[in-house]
Chains A and B, each alone.
Chain A
Amino acid sequence: MFGIVFNGNGFVWQSYPIFHLGFTRILHIIVSVMYRPPVCHNRNAFLSAFPNNVVSCRHEGPVWQVAWAHPMYGNILASCSYDRKVIIWKEENGTWEKTYEYTGHDSSVNSVCWAPHDYGLILACGSSDGAISLLSYTGDGQWEVKKISNAHTIGCNAVSWAPAVVPGSLIEQPSGQKPNYIKRFASGGCDNLVKIWKEEDGQWKEEQKLEAHSDWVRDVAWAPSIGLPTSTIASCSQDGRVFIWTCDDASGNSWSPKLLHKFNDVVWHVSWSITANILAVSGGDNKVTLWKESVDGLWACISDVNKGQGGVSAVTEGQQNEQ
């Protein structure tokens, strides 16, 4: 599945390694949650193909990001927008309908991220008002809201959940026994910090404050667990730096940064491959690079992704989709 990020000029994409669905389908969803329909020559084709997907309610500002919930909960999509709203959409009978609208933020909501499905339906939302909200579905159409105020002064730009697996527990955990998950997520904000939040006794507490960036943290991405007892977070910043943070100890206290690279431009987005061994870094110079850690722990650029043409060795079978 993809997540989608809109920018005011049209829309832009962000994909999340949750599930890959058909491509066209996603375009339709875009159409339905769109604030200002992207101006494109074949837009009408999209709209007409889905007359029943017209959504009565939309965002009143650009939508920055959407996120798919795990399919075990049905077709559920969360979108966040500059209009300060978070809307949770649900597809029923082929139509997308708003099932919940959260208006508790005072500024642009920049990022939404669903928690690992093991926790149930929990959505983390990061806003420019500096707060992070956690919306949990409690059944019967009810959502419970927890809010972390002033998580990042003047704005939170990104949130990303830690995988549900407690690091190191994969091997020892006897199957069948309910593992003792600790809910954690990372956030990045305009205070140049990456913060790690942890739920304790139902309350969210700041567990770690990772300082290395000298400008806005634009995105954070917690790497999917691959069974190793290491947690890894990638963060990228306005200052052009991408850091890889790793934590080997299970208590999650000692994070050490490693500079992946210093780019000459803003780095907007980082994304892990499912197997967590490749990092895609999207730079402000319209360049996407892929990075891989070598055996000796050094990160090397394995490819520039050039417009999906597969021009470089690591990328093949490019496919273009015109918007």
Chain B
Amino acid sequence: MKLKEIDLTAMQAWSPAQQHPIYLATGTSAQQLDASFSTNASLEIFELDLSDPSLDMKSCAVISSSHRYHKLIWGPHSMTAGESVSGVLIAGGENGNVILYDPAKILVGNSEAIIAQKDKHTGPVRALDVNMFQTNLVASGANESEIYIWDLNNFATPMTPGAKTQPLEDISCIAWNRQVQHILASASPSGRATVWDLRKNEPIIKVSDHNNRMHCSGLAWHPDVATQMVLASEDDRLPVIQMWDLRFTSSPLRVLESHTRGILAIAWSMADSELLLSCGKDAKILCSNPNTGEVLYELPTNMQWCFDIQWCPRNPAIFSAASFDGRISTYSIMGGSTDGLRQKHVDQLSSSFGNLDPFGTGQPLPPLQLPQQTAPQSVVLPLKKPPRWIRRPVGASFSFGGKLVTFENAKPQQQPGVDQQPQHHYVYVSQVVTEKEFLARSTQLQEAVQSEGFVSYCQKKIDMAQADFERNVWAFLKVNFEEDSRAKYLELLGYRKDDLKNKVSVAESCACVKYFVDGFICQVQPCIINVFICDNKQETEDLGSARKTFNISVSGDVDGLITQALLTGNFESAVDLCLHDNRMADAIILAIAGGQELLSRTQEKYFSKIQSKITRLITAVVTKNWKEIVQSCDLQNWREALAAVLTYARPDEFAALCDLLGNRLESEGDSLLRTQACLCYICAGNVEKLVACWSKVQDGNSPLSLQDLIEKVVILRKAVQLTQAVDPNAVGALLAEKMSQYANLLAAQGSIAAALTFLPANTDQPNIVLLRDRLCRAQGELPAGQEAIRAPYERQPIPKDRAGPVVGQVPGPQTSAQQYYQQVRIAPTVTTWSNKTPTALPSHPPAGCPSDTQGDKPPPPGFIMPGAVNPSAPPQQATSPSYSMYSQAGTRPAYPQTYQSTQQYSFGTGETALYQPQQPIAAPASASYPSPASNTNPPYLPTAHPVPSSLYPGQPQPSPTSLNPASSFPLPPSGASFQHGRPGLPATSVAYALPTGPTGTLPAASDLPASQRTGLMAGIDPPALNRTAKKKKVPDNFMPPVPITSPIMNPLADPQAQTQQPPAAPVGTPSFQPPQLPAGQQAPLGPYAPQALGPGVVPPTTFKPRTEGAPGAPIGNAMQHVQALPTEKITKKPIPEEHLILKTTFEALIQRCLLSASDPQTKRKLDDANKRLEFLYDKLREQTLSPAIVSGLHSIVKSIETRNYVEGLNIHMHIVSTSNFSETSAFMPVLKVVLIQANKLGV
């Protein structure tokens, strides 16, 4: 693609690679006259500015010269970094002169730009080259075999490479070797090339073609291979480029014959040795790979010959070509569109035509669009082969979880010409850990949480704490886990009860008044005050009784008045008088006698009168109004206030008071106090506030400070959970944010499992959900919930890593997995886990639980038995499901969970719960088909149950009719069941035969230990595993089963079904019986677990009655069953009634359309739509659709009922535009199709 052009007939030289910006120097060519026939010469420098989209190149400087040039080069000699322009321009002139210019001076307009000039040569200097290794060495060649080596540092006296070659001839080209610095080659038009060794000062090799028709116009050394060079011939009779290897000089190594006429110039890219430019008299510019001879690129040119062509050293994609029509063009070999440029061109033209075009668009001037040009394609394709410089040799990228993926090329430099085939490329995955301390502390925290060793953890923290505050906080936290926490808090605040007692006893010995004076009254328990008051009373009584007689004075003084008041029983006045007389004690004593009301009023008056430091405290103590204290105390006294609250506050108001104090500290206090607010929040157990306060005070950005916070929060939460009845999962927004931040950090350091444990469990904040999803994926699992939500087509997980490798090792499990998978696929409603997975645990159950997934799940449990009993028998393969189930659970510890989960579903009868694990064995097979619609487990439970009587009561059979006799009566003796088995045998075998190929379920399970242990992940794992396992084989065998069994297994055809059932049993019959009998009824959980674990373990369990569901039988049944049945019926829950109208309406509409549609294509569309709307129904069943969408759908239904399809479409559009793509993508498009069709058909 042409980038720039200059209208000049000139020799050209790019600035050296070190130069930025890029310049192009041009010197008037000696060989051609330009259009004006002017004989003036000049040297001009242009700047290549690619950010300017125009075709013009900016001329930076021009100096006129007395010489015209045969050759111009720009050497990097004496370039220093940072200088704007430098290097040396070396020009070869007409008169045998070699001239050195300083480009820096030219650019600043200094006319004294010539550094030096020598005319040692006798003829025009046509060849010049700078040594790449010693840039001060320049070789020049001219007539008469003259070659000189110039030292730019000592320009006066050139050297010669050796004696002149004979016969004397012009030197047309000269080139330094690119690899060996003392090797030089020269060539002459006769076609002879000579290689010189400067150390030996003589020619070492002469290369010449025998046919003597070479007319050498170009010479270039191989950029990478020291012994190879190319020669280009100008002769039209031999327009070739010869590649020579000096080790083999008898004939050229390769001859490139792409040009049809003589080649005028060549240029070999230094950036990629597979790119050689050549231009010739056939007016072509070609880019070929000289190592193979292949032409990689042909440049669209303007049909003019180019006589000089140069790669830009700095920008490897750019080269320039000087053509005889007086133009130097700059091209990019990367292709691209010239539209923008041409438009520019046209604009220029139209503007120079005086804006004939009123709109200035250039469009009205079509004839001028391509003036004089032969319609170059607007789109120019790039090189056929990607040039080396766009291949990345190395790269490293971060991915989730602090993983760093790195690749590199084994050998950065490859031998050219050698096909780079058998190289090993390595990709490395590293874990980047930058926060070691953070991780270590996080681990400690986790350990503490897991071991519940909170106290020791806190103690450790206290011991390690550097700052007082930190120590304090930890001490407070620790108290949370201790007995009598309030007292301990008090101690922490500096108030010990024991100390207090001492003080009090000391104080008691002093005068009563001293109490009041004593500022530490706050430490006094209320009882003490009481005591004091009582004491006083007693004293007075004592006094009274001691005096035999006393004078009741009714004089006019105060005493008298009081007496009078007392005598009249007017306590109130008496008290007033006492108060007035400042006889406080008297007043209060009287008030006590005057009743509660008076007392409190007196207290009030007293407090308002007496203004000692502690009055308010006493007030609070007496009135129990601690809020007042907390609200109005001096913040410097927060400690005392908190102590008071700790002492007095009732449990129900305690937290609130602490909060209040904390709030005040936080909002009103200075920075120091603000931090103390944390302590209040800790006392209050207010996690959210603690987080808020902490993050305000502390710089929360560094991982360690976050760790500081999280440690406290986690501990406090644990404490709160211990003491208060709080939902352990409830997490506030701020805390959730911090926790997810923390989890993010952990994940970034590679602790994925830890991150998961810290991630708040039950928030639906999008970022947390997202993070959890990522974490699950990072652990190699697909998050359970999400899968379900997604449209079915997305459900299939990509095969898990391990699946492949493990193949063959565990053939059993694999098959099962597959089958399982198939089932899943048949029934598009794989909602099973979605339903069950909202919380952590559930996920297992769904997978393994027959109840809601009968379709898919029944097999697993059943298989356990057969596999165990008769490992070698065909049924064994069937065991796989069971394995997969367990594998889901992951490592051993997880097993119990599975069982528990299953139990959840067994609500049939109390006892049955116990057996449940087994239940699947019997139940799935027999029961599963009968009840297509029923998801409920109860019916099946009974089968497992040994005693029939108990069974029946417990069975709420949702679809009793469908139950087929065989299944419903588990009781028949084992013998009977076996009989059944016989006939079915073939069927079973078929079922088993289908699944083939191993899966890696078991091994895979072991990879997830961390998640399992924590239990958090338990729910999420299984689906992922299952799927992975299944997925692989699915395509092969999943279809066949259906046709085989489907007719037979039709749910409605009971008899058939009966006969069918047995098939499962046949295989194992003989061997199974014994175990079944002994097992008996008391099958506890325990026994089953072992079964699950190892295929080789013979289960001691199972009971006779159950024979029907005996190990062998169920398997076959279940499997076929599942495959055969229209699985939807089995697996799906009913659509909620209120939404049923959606389905009925849509289906009715489609039916109407189908009736009136004429062409098959439309019908097909509608049929398809009908099917795909199942996705919608599934979502309705799962109730996973957002209310907005559902209500929108109802609106659509309404519009359908009124036949207003256009409105329906509008609503549809509204829904689509406002809802989540992934949520609606499965069915909305189809719905649209239906609506459009309905509208078109006018039904």
Contact = CB atoms under 8 A, between A and B. Distances in A.
Interface of A: 1-3, 5, 7-25, 28, 38-41, 49-50, 52, 61-62, 64, 71-75, 82, 84, 91-94, 106-108, 110, 120-121, 128-131, 137, 139-140, 149-150, 153-155, 157, 175, 190-193, 209, 214-216, 228, 239, 268-269, 271-275, 277-278, 280-288, 290, 292, 302-303, 305, 307-310, 314-323
Contact of B1035 (A74, A93, A239): A93
A75 B796 CA distance: 10
A183 B216 CA distance: 58
13 contacts: A8-B386, A9-B414, A13-B395, A14-B392, A20-B774, A20-B777, A25-B801, A72-B1221, A82-B386, A137-B1221, A272-B398, A284-B412, A322-B424
Nearest to B782: A71
Contact of A94 (B424, B799, B800): B799
B430 A305 contact: yes
B409 A1 contact: no
A229 to B, nearest CB: 13
Interface in B359-395: 379-382, 385-386, 388, 390-395
Contacts of B786: 71-72
Interface in B764-800: 765, 773-774, 777-778, 780, 786, 790-791, 793-794, 796, 798-800
Contacts of A239: 20
A175 B733 contact: yes
A321 B397 contact: no
Given A20-B403, A107-B335, A323-B427, A128 B778 contact: no
Given A128-B336, A175-B765, A271-B397, 9 more contacts: A20-B401, A20-B403, A62-B391, A82-B382, A92-B794, A190-B50, A308-B404, A319-B430, A321-B428
Contact of B398 (A17, A24, A50, A94): A17
Contact of B434 (A91, A309, A314): A314
A278 B398 contact: yes
Contacts of B1216: 139
Nearest to A76: B794
Interface string B419-444: 01111111111111110000000000
B804 A140 contact: no
A271 B396 contact: yes
Please report whether the interface of chain A is mostly helix, strand, loop or mixed according to DSSP. loop
Given A8-B391, A74-B794, A308-B430, A16 B397 contact: yes
Contacts of B332: 154-155
A308 B430 CA distance: 5
B582 interface: no
A129 B392 contact: no
B1222 interface: yes
Contacts of A129: 1, 334-337, 382
B20 A214 contact: yes
B773 A7 contact: no
The listed residue with most B CB atoms (<10 A of its CB), out of A13, A92, A271, A317, is A13
Interface string B302-330: 00000000000011011000000000000
B575 interface: no
Interface string B574-597: 000000000000000000000000
A3 B339 CA distance: 33
A287 B396 CA distance: 9
Contacts of A323: 424-427
Given A18-B400, A321-B429, A128 B382 contact: yes
Nearest to A272: B398
B998 to A, nearest CB: 12
B406 interface: yes
Contact of B334 (A5, A108, A215): A108
Nearest to B1007: A22
Interface stretch (B24-32, B605-613, B674-682, B745-753): B745-753
Contacts of B424: 40-41, 322-323
Contacts of B406: 13, 282, 288, 305, 307-308
A209 B49 CA distance: 15
Interface in B11-50: 20-21, 50
Contact of A305 (B53, B334, B396, B744): B396
B452 interface: no
Contacts of A73: 1221-1222
B515 interface: no
What 9 A-B pairs have minimum CB-CB distances, sorted nearest first? Answer: A308-B428, A15-B397, A129-B336, A7-B391, A214-B20, A22-B801, A20-B400, A15-B405, A153-B50
Contact of A216 (B315, B335, B802): B315
B407 interface: yes
A318 B780 CA distance: 18
The listed residue with most A CB atoms (<10 A of its CB), out of B318, B334, B427, B800, is B427
Contacts of A121: 1221
B747 A316 contact: no
Nearest to B744: A275
B421 A39 contact: yes
Contacts of B3: 153-154
Contact of B395 (A14, A20, A274): A14
A216 B318 CA distance: 12
B670 interface: no
A7 B800 contact: no
B79 to A, nearest CB: 14
B241 interface: no
Interface in B94-148: none
Contacts of B393: 7, 12, 268, 284, 286
B1123 to A, nearest CB: 17
A269 B394 contact: yes
Contacts of B339: 149
A253 B1031 CA distance: 50
Given A20-B403, A155-B317, A310-B430, A282 B1229 contact: no
A5 B1229 CA distance: 35
Contact of B318 (A107, A154, A321): A154
The listed residue with most B CB atoms (<10 A of its CB), out of A21, A39, A107, is A107
B1035 A71 contact: no
B432 A320 contact: no
Nearest to B412: A286
The listed residue with most A CB atoms (<10 A of its CB), out of B390, B392, B1221, is B392
B545 interface: no
A73 B786 CA distance: 11
Contacts of B549: none
A64 B386 CA distance: 10
B314 A274 contact: no
B400 A269 contact: no
Contacts of A190: 50, 315, 317, 334
Contacts of B397: 2-3, 13-17, 269, 271, 280
Given A150-B340, A271-B397, A315-B432, A120 B405 contact: no
